[in-house]
Each structure stands twice: as structure tokens, then as C-alpha cells.
Structure 1
Amino acid sequence: MQVSGTTRNILGSKGRDIWTTTPDALVFDAIHLMGEKNIGALIVVENGEVVGLMSERDYSRKVVLRGRTSRDTRVEEILSRPVVTVGLDTSIDDCMRLMTEHRIRHLPVVENGSPAGLVSMGDLIKWTLSAQEDAIHQLEGYIAGQFTMR
């Protein structure tokens, strides 16, 4: 089933809050912000442009498992780059394909080089489930003769 919609639709639904950090920030501060905002990744921005992404996965694999400390490690030492980004009009299907191909869980949405939002695998799943529920509802209504298909 092809799911209609774009990253613009998802951001319109979930909101466009953008949480960022910089390459020179301490990992401790970045992790603290992620915990405070209950998010799994931060867009790393330098001079207004997206230069990478720092996720909980980066923290666990590149700090914790290597015996480093978050208070002595800079974000630039662990961030994922080059970062895979998408635009506001990228389809849901293309986002899912990119996440699967690159084995990632977060896609920064970029507009003119600047961050416009962040789409997670959870956002895409939620959008897809909602689309499937709508399709089922329409089919049930059609079968019951309540209304016609679009």
C-alpha cells in the first residue's frame, strides 16, 4: 500500500519544534536536552546549516560502550555524518525507503539548507497507521453503502 503524504504533512500534524545542538557542545548537555524534551535525536547545526545528527544510538555506541564520559566528549566527536536529509515535499514512501537503506531512525527535514523539522520512524509509522485506518473506514462505509469512494 502506497501511503500518500509528505514530510510537510507530518510536520504540520506533529508540529515543527526543532531541537538542535552544535558540534562544539558537550554530549552531556545534548543528552540532557534530549531527556528534557523526550526526544531521541538532535539536529547538529553550524552556521545555520545542518552538519549532522546526534542520536541516543550515537551516545550509547560512541560514548558509553567506549568508556568515555559525556562531560568530556564533544558532539562533533560522535555525531553521525554525512547526514541523510529530506525536503518538505519528500514523500512518506521515500522517507521510509531512505531510513531502511541507511538503517537510520531520524531524518532531518531541510529547507534552503536550514533545519525545518525532524521526522522519526515513529512519526512515519503513526502516519501510515492513520492512513490505513482511514482506508479501512472508507471501505467499510462503501461496503455498507454509506458513502462512495474518493
Structure 2
Amino acid sequence: MARKIRDIMTGSPTSVSPELDIVTVARAMRDEDIGAVLVAEGDDMKGLVTDRDLVVRGLAAGGDPKEIKIGGLASSATATIGPDDSVDRAAQIMRERAVRRLPVVEDGRPVGIVSIGDLAVEKDSASALADISAARPNT
């Protein structure tokens, strides 16, 4: 039987206000050693921002990074998954939506994030992606 998302997800996702600037969010991502944050107002999830979004949509666009608000960079979180859904279901959604991360939502609130790397470690622990995803981060 396939494992459930709750078994492989990263719990307690970091959420940030859409009003924060990208420098503040980038520092939080560095300090917490994470590659994505949820953008939320209270329990209302507005979207997701990755480290790549900070560069491609934020810094590369020009302007003062301390003035660019994270809410303007967020990808809308149209695809989510529940903690009791299967790993296979997450892979299916990621393929269909061409996304690498899915917010995990329970009772309307974000409770985690599952990444393509998490799936690789679970489904094929001998793959190159699984090795990279399981490795300690570069510092």
C-alpha cells in the first residue's frame, strides 16, 4: 500500500505575509534552510513562493528588493493535496499541473508541503534526484 502524504511531507510550513519584502523572505528562507514559503493572510493561503521565484520574478525584474512585496511574486496555490492522500496522487497532480511542490491542506489550513524530491526519496530511493534531495544542504 502506498504511503500517505503525511508520512513524507515537511510539516509546519513557513507562512509569510504578502506585504513582506523579498529581502526579508529570502533571509527567512536562508535561516530556515527552506526553498519555499506559503504566502498567507491569517489562515487564508494566497500562494507559494520559491527561491527561484525570488530571483526570476523579483530580482531579475529590477527595482529595489526591499520595496518588492512577496505577494506580487506568489504563484497561486491552485493545486493542493491532503495529508491522507497517497504519494501516487501527489505525483499525478504534480505531473498534471507541472509543479514541483504542493501545499498540504487539512480542514482548510496548510499543514505541510510535499516536494518532488520528497516523492523521489519515497518512490525510488536509488535515483539521482532522491540522493540530491536527501543530501545535507550546502552551506
SS at match of 1:23: coil
User: C-alpha separation between the residues in 2 aligned to 1:82 and 1:48?
Assistant: 13
Question: Could you tell me how far 1:49 is from its partner in structure 2?
Answer: 2.2
Residue 80 of structure 2 contacts residue 102 of structure 2 at CA under 8 Å; is this kept in 1?
Answer: yes
Residue 63 of structure 1 contacts residue 69 of structure 1 at CA under 8 Å; is this kept in 2?
Answer: no
User: C-alpha separation between the residues in 2 aligned to 1:82 and 1:110?
Assistant: 11
SS at match of 1:65: helix
User: C-alpha separation between the residues in 2 aligned to 1:131 and 1:93?
Assistant: 18
User: C-alpha separation between the residues in 2 aligned to 1:98 and 1:120?
Assistant: 11
Question: Could you tell me how far 1:131 is from its partner in structure 2?
Answer: 9.9
1:41 is aligned to 36
The alignment yields a C-alpha RMSD, in angstroms, of 2.0
Q: Runs (4+) of structure 1 moved beyond 6 Å?
A: none
SS at match of 2:124: helix
Question: Could you tell me how far 1:68 is from its partner in structure 2?
Answer: 3.0
User: C-alpha separation between the residues in 2 aligned to 1:79 and 1:68?
Assistant: 17
Equivalent residue pairs, number: 127
1:76 is aligned to 71
TM-score of the aligned structures, taking structure 2 as reference length: 0.82
Gaps of 5+ in 2: 128-139
User: C-alpha separation between the residues in 1 aligned to 2:77 and 2:34?
Assistant: 21
TM-score of the aligned structures, taking structure 1 as reference length: 0.76
2:45 is aligned to 50
Residue 77 of structure 2 contacts residue 103 of structure 2 at CA under 8 Å; is this kept in 1?
Answer: no
User: C-alpha separation between the residues in 2 aligned to 1:84 and 1:55?
Assistant: 15
Give the aligned residue type for 1:55: T
State the structure with more CA Rg. Answer: 1
1:10 is aligned to 8
Identity among equivalent positions (%) equals 30
Question: Could you tell me how far 1:88 is from its partner in structure 2?
Answer: 1.0
Residue 53 of structure 1 contacts residue 83 of structure 1 at CA under 8 Å; is this kept in 2?
Answer: no
Gaps of 5+ in 1: 133-150
